[in-house]
Amino acid sequence: MVDITTEDGVQIDLVSRERMQSLRSMEKIRLILDGVREGNIVILEEGLSPDEESKLIEVTMNEISPDEFTGIEIESYPQQESNPGFFSRLFGRDPPNKLTVIGPANRIETLHKDENLIQALVTQ
């Protein structure tokens, strides 16, 4: 069997909805940031809630260091517009985004995004 290291390419971590649902908000943020800090691209089957995404950005801003960590690039498919139920409207719950791609800001660049497609350029 061939020994493959991350020096040979870019590691992509595909995280299932079930895995994310089993974690608390800060655990989700640490899972994402730890992967991205290692240079990995993290793809979430189901995106973060708006509050979690805001917290991810806040924590990222606190961890940015010019020599070590340049930040993240994050793109999500928007949740399909649907007629939210009464309780969702009452309690102000927004459904989470669909598929989300997160990577190191210095290795991933979004080329195009719409409701059906995210095109990104990933460099080593």
Mean pLDDT of 36-43: 95
Mean pLDDT of 19-45: 96
Domains of the chain: 6-80+87-122 (3.30.110)
Question: E strand or H helix at 58, and its extent?
Answer: helix 50-63
- How much is the pLDDT for 52? 94
Task: Specify the long-range contacts of residues 23-32, CB closer than 8 Å, at least 24 apart.
Answer: 25/49, 25/51, 25/52, 25/55, 26/55, 28/52, 29/55, 29/56, 29/59, 32/56, 32/72, 32/102
Lowest model confidence (mean pLDDT) among 16-25, 38-47, 77-86: 77-86
- How much is the pLDDT for 40? 95
- How much is the pLDDT for 66? 86
Residue 29 has pLDDT above 90, yes or no: yes
Query: Which tokens in the block code for residue 26?
Result: 């800060």
**83 HSE (CA, 13 A, CB side):** 1
Separation between Cα atoms, residue 12 and residue 97, nearest integer Å: 19
How do residues 63-110 score in pLDDT, each as one tens digit?
999 889 999 999 987 765 555 555 555 565 555 568 899 999 999 988
Contact present, 43 and 14 (Cβ < 8 Å): yes
